[in-house]
C-alpha cells in the first residue's frame, strides 16, 4: 500500500497545513477513519477499544467500515447506544 495524498512532496508541517487548507473540505458523511473489525486495517476492536492504546474508545460514525447507502444519523445513534452498553458492561465486569 502506498500513500495517495498528500504524497511525498508534503514533507513539513507547513506543507501539511497548506495541503489541508486546500483539500480539507468534505462533500459526504465522513465515516471509516477508525474502522472497527478484525483485519489488519481495523483500528477499533469489537468492544470499541483502540488497538494498542489503553482506556480509549471510539463511539461514533468513524468506526463504520464503509459509508452506508443511507444517511448516517440513525446508525450513529444506534452505535452510540450500543457503545454505552458495552462500556457499562465492561465497567461492571471489573467490579
Q: How far apart are CA 32 and CA 54, in angstroms?
A: 21
Examine the residue annotation and report whether 29 is marked as an active-site residue of this protein. Answer: yes
**Grid cell digits, residue 92:** 461492571
CA 18/CA 88 separation, integer angstroms:
42
**Catalytic residue of the set 4, 29, 47, 73:** 29
The residues carrying an active-site annotation are: 29
Amino acid at each position: 500500500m502506498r500513500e495517495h495524498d498528500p504524497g511525498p512532496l508534503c514533507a513539513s508541517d507547513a506543507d501539511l497545513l497548506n495541503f489541508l487548507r486546500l483539500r480539507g473540505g468534505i462533500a459526504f458523511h465522513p465515516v471509516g477513519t477508525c474502522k472497527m473489525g478484525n483485519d489488519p486495517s481495523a483500528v477499533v476492536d469489537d468492544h470499541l477499544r483502540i488497538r494498542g492504546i489503553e482506556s480509549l474508545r471510539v463511539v461514533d460514525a468513524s468506526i463504520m467500515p464503509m459509508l452506508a447507502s443511507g444517511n448516517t444519523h440513525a446508525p450513529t445513534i444506534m452505535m452510540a447506544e450500543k457503545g454505552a452498553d458495552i462500556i457499562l458492561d465492561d465497567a461492571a465486569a471489573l467490579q
